[in-house]
Amino acid sequence: MSELVVIGAGAFGTALAVAMSRDGTRVSLWGRDVGAMAAMRASRINPRLPNVKLPDEINVTSDLSDIRKTGPIIIATPMQTLHNMLDQIDDPLAGRPVIACCKGIDLKTHQGPSKLISNAKPDAIAAVLTGPSFATDIAQGLPTALTLACADESVGLALQHQLSKPMLRLYLSGDVIGAELGGALKNVIAIAAGACIGSGLGESARAALMTRGLAEMLRFSNHFGAQTQTMMGLSGFGDLALTCTSNQSRNFQFGAALGRAEAFDKSVTVEGVATAQAVVEIAKETGLDMPISHAVCDISTGNTSVSEALQSLLARPLKKE
Ligand SMILES: NC(=O)C1=CN([C@@H]2O[C@H](COP(=O)(O)OP(=O)(O)OC[C@H]3O[C@@H](n4cnc5c(N)ncnc54)[C@H](O)[C@@H]3O)[C@@H](O)[C@H]2O)C=CC1
Ligand SMILES: O=C(CO)COP(=O)(O)O
């Protein structure tokens, strides 16, 4: 019987644990909050996914030593907590695949999840699982397709086969940088799309933002060696399309609240805010032109209003597509 560890018992970690356990795989689902994990163990319900019962195959735990069990490790904590999370794991995880689902760029180091993993655990095998998928859809067993990216082709192939399920199709890629940058950058553009709709600018404007946003994603990721094909696939265009057009997306919801000048619940995970800030800092260092990310950084930190940000985007010099 295969085994798997999922670190991070939020919506996404729990959804993946449920999906993976459907074929009898034994999953250890780790969360940091001892009380919340005890409650989840008793009720078999995660309040973030209230309609989904956790199967018996899932061992809900707050004991990090449970990750010593065999099998790949999936990390589904928010991006800005990954550095600290890896520091808490005292095992070197030698030879173990460590698969990040975090979508973002670390503000302190300007690195993505795979680099943080390789720096902290040089003997582990870093991989990334990303693409268009809401936790609720995965947990309910609705059809979903994701990118699994791993630089080690044979490990990637083995993971693709182990983690693909009848309703969860994993497409394999060797372009780890491209896959993780797609997931990080689409959140920034989704905030812009939400602000556009929330402030009543219309769906044509949103389509323009998505298209020019994709151009920004390509410019940025190509600079760091990503392949264009990856950005046009599930982890780039696919996730951009989902997140910019669905009210279920928290990044979209946050942008929409900004557009309507409404308050937003600070406890909700909105990965695009810190990533926009990291992108602006990286753009300053590299000279990359990232106007939408600049606008999102300014509106999400309260430096500019949505209408001022729009005016500055519209006032840019006309250029070739
Ligand atoms: N929810 C979704 O539909 C999807 C989420 N993701 C990604 O998965 C990652 C996690 O997102 P969600 O599960 O949705 O977030 P969530 O807000 O539902 O859960 C986050 C979890 O991380 C835990 N956490 C917070 N700070 C922590 C720390 N310092 N150390 C350890 N654990 C900590 C929280 O207790 C919570 O259980 C994000 O990067 C997100 O972009 C990816 C695909 C879909
Ligand atoms: O990444 C996601 C879907 O693929 C989830 O998006 P949000 O974090 O914006 O909710």
Q: ipTM score of the complex? A: 0.98
Total of domains in the chain? 2
My answer on whether 164 and 206 are in the same domain is: no
Using the mean position of ligand 2's atoms as its centre, give its distance from the Cα of residue 242 in Å: 8
Six-digit token string for 150 = 């791993």
The reply to whether 117 falls in a domain is yes
The reply to whether 239 falls in a domain is yes
My answer on whether 170 and 267 are in the same domain is: no
Query: What pLDDT was estimated at residue 287?
Result: 98
Q: Are 293 and 190 in contact (CB under 8 A)?
A: no
Query: What pLDDT was estimated at residue 68?
Result: 80
Question: What ligand is nearest to the CA atom of residue 267?
Answer: 1
Query: What pLDDT was estimated at residue 195?
Result: 96
Q: Are 29 and 58 in contact (CB under 8 A)?
A: yes
Q: List the CATH number of the domain containing 296.
A: 1.10.1040.10
Q: List the CATH number of the domain containing 57.
A: 3.40.50.720
My answer on whether 219 and 261 are in the same domain is: yes
What pLDDT digit, counting tens, does each position of 232-274 carry? 999 999 999 999 999 999 999 999 999 999 999 999 999 999 9
Query: What pLDDT was estimated at residue 264?
Result: 98
Atom of ligand 1 nearest to the CA of 104: 39
Average pLDDT along the chain, 321 residues, taken 10 residues at a time? 92 98 96 98 97 96 88 97 97 96 98 98 98 98 98 98 97 98 98 97 96 98 98 98 98 98 97 98 98 97 93 90 90
The reply to whether 320 falls in a domain is no
User: Is 250 labeled as ligand-binding?
Assistant: yes
My answer on whether 169 and 222 are in the same domain is: no
Which of 174, 201, 230 is where one domain is finished?
Answer: 174
Question: What ligand is nearest to the CA atom of residue 112?
Answer: 1
188 lies in which domain range? 177-315
Give how far Cα 159 sits from Cα of 127, 156, 172, Å.
Answer: 9, 5, 9
Active site residue 186: yes
My answer on whether 39 and 121 are in the same domain is: yes
The reply to whether 62 falls in a domain is yes
Question: Which residue of the set 53, 69, 186, 319 is catalytic?
Answer: 186
Q: How many residues are recorded in the chain?
A: 321
